[in-house]
Structure 1
Amino acid sequence: MDYWSVWTLSVVLLAYVYHCGVELTFELPDNAKECFHQEIGKNMSSTLEFQVVTGGQYDVDVTLEAPNKEIIYRQVKAQFDSHTFVSTMSGIYVVCFSNEFSTFSHKLVYMDFQVGDEQPLPGIGEHVTVMTQMESSALEIHKSLNSIIDYQTHHRLREAQGRKRAEDLNERVMWWSILETLAVLIITVGQVLVLKNFFAEKKPSQMNSK
């Protein structure tokens, strides 16, 4: 299993435990389309965020479809974006990522589809009085930890994107260096053979024939 498969399966495949939704990274082959289904209730705020991590020009086509087949969000050849919406009906919402315009480039796509507000910490949501200092501190720490998770996720994506670009650049430089080396060797051998022919002693039969 290569690095990208391990990274996809063990590092970025995440799910938040405090609110409904999905956060994952998946491979999108060339000429392919992947769709994900999410059940959402009425009047719920949801956020769709995506980013193309590696592959081609780092772009995909994205559509978000409501249960009545209405397209509520569409992007063509987008590299990244975030879209927040409030559902007008209950049902299954479908988000599709398309790489059908690409004939040879595989894409690695990160998606974060979160539904609803985050559930409060246990014991705090039922508060009818002012929170104590310890409870306020716990709430602030919880918010900070969530922010850290978001920052870590985006830094992982940047690191993976930078690593992939560096590996691609290294591969191109290596093949270019190999071609240059072969060209220099061929030219060197050709020059040696031509110079050797100039200084080679000719036989009398070759001289008389002229």
Structure 2
Amino acid sequence: MVHRARLWLLAALPLQCTGLFFELKAKSAGPAECFKATPGHGHSLHGSYEADGPNEGVLVTLTSGSGKELFRNANPSGRFSIEVMEELPHRLCFESSVEESQMVSFNFHVDEHGDGTDHHDKEHMEYVTKEHTDKVEELVAKLEAKANDILDQQQYAITREAVHRETAESTNARVMWWTLAEVAVLISLAAFQVSYLRSHFEVKQIV
């Protein structure tokens, strides 16, 4: 069976990079699954998600601490990048739009830019200009984004494999029980026919 975890403790986890997956219940089974995170002012929230199941349908919303909707998407997969303007808890909610459970892979990254990494003395500043550092920071950000995308795709592939394996195991189990039931019915019919023919010949022999 696939290991499933409720992610209510997301706010207590380090927000630098969080990659998880969970089971999203059917639309009629309950309310949306929501997670809270409190990034600092000026940080950026980057995330992506992907739903996987027999029928896929999910509504994803990201809301600021003041109740402003920052992101909304009804596609089975998507990504977002939001600049944080309020140092308040942000809520990311997943709501099913189908009547079947589905697995949702979810990756969440916080870009803590502006944390004061440009500490250079005068000697360094003679050789390294602000333009150069900006280019380096931009290159590092692009490399980090590509690395995160690769990690996201790996997580999604693992989740899809787990869901498909569980579906295959469930299908094989149903086929096995159905085959056993057919064998039992055939044995019962054969026994009934033998018993019937035996009693029929016994009656003829007596007559």
Task: Report the TM-score when normalising by structure 2.
Answer: 0.63
> Are the structure 2 counterparts of residues 118 and 174 from structure 1 closer, same or farther at C-alpha, using a change threshold of 3 Å?
farther
RMSD: 4.1
2:79 alignment partner AA: S
Tell me which residue corresponds to 2:80: 83
User: Partners in 1 of 2:98 and 2:140 — Cα distance?
Assistant: 44
Query: Distance in 1 between the 2:140 and 2:87 partners?
Result: 35
Alignment of 1:53-72 (within 5 A): 57-72=55-70
Q: Deviations over 1:46-70 (max 9, x none)?
A: 3232233x55635432111123312
Could you tell me how far 1:81 is from its partner in structure 2? 0.8
Q: Of the candidates 104, 107, 114, which is equivalent to residue 110 of structure 2? A: 114
Q: Structure 1 179/165 Cα, relative in aligned 2: closer, same or farther at 3 Å? A: same
1:27 paired to 2:22: yes
* CA distance in 1 between partners of 2:163 and 2:18 (Å): 21
Counterparts of 1:134-145 in structure 2, within 5 Å, are: none
Q: What is the SS of the residue equivalent to 2:88?
A: strand
Q: Residue 49 and residue 106 in structure 1: after superposition, are their counterparts in 2 closer, same or farther (change >3 A)?
A: closer
Shift in Å at residue 37 of structure 1? 2.5
Superposed CA offset, 1:78-106 (max 9, x none): 3221112334x323252332346566736
- SS state of the match for residue 92, structure 1? coil
The 1-side partners of 2:175 and 2:35 are apart by 39
Give the TM-score normalised by structure 1: 0.62
Decide which structure has greater helix share. Answer: 2
Using the alignment, how far apart are the partners of 1:29 and 1:166 within structure 2?
18
Counting aligned pairs with the same residue, the percent is: 9
SS in 2 for 1:57: coil
* CA–CA distance in structure 2, aligned partners of residues 70 and 47 of structure 1: 17
Alpha-carbon separation, structure 1, partners of 2:146 and 2:191: 67
AA matched with 1:74: R
Matched residue type, 1:48 = G
Amino acid at match of 2:60: V
Q: Which moved more, 1:140-149 or 1:95-104?
A: 140-149
Residue type of the alignment partner of 2:64: A
Q: Does 1:155 align with 2:154?
A: yes
Partner of 1:98: 94
2: CA distance, partners of 1:145 / 1:101: 33
Distance 2:21 2:155 in 1: 14
> Which letter does structure 2 place at the counterpart of 1:179?
W
**How far did 1:109 drift?**
3.6
Q: Structure 1 counterpart of 2:35, which letter?
A: C
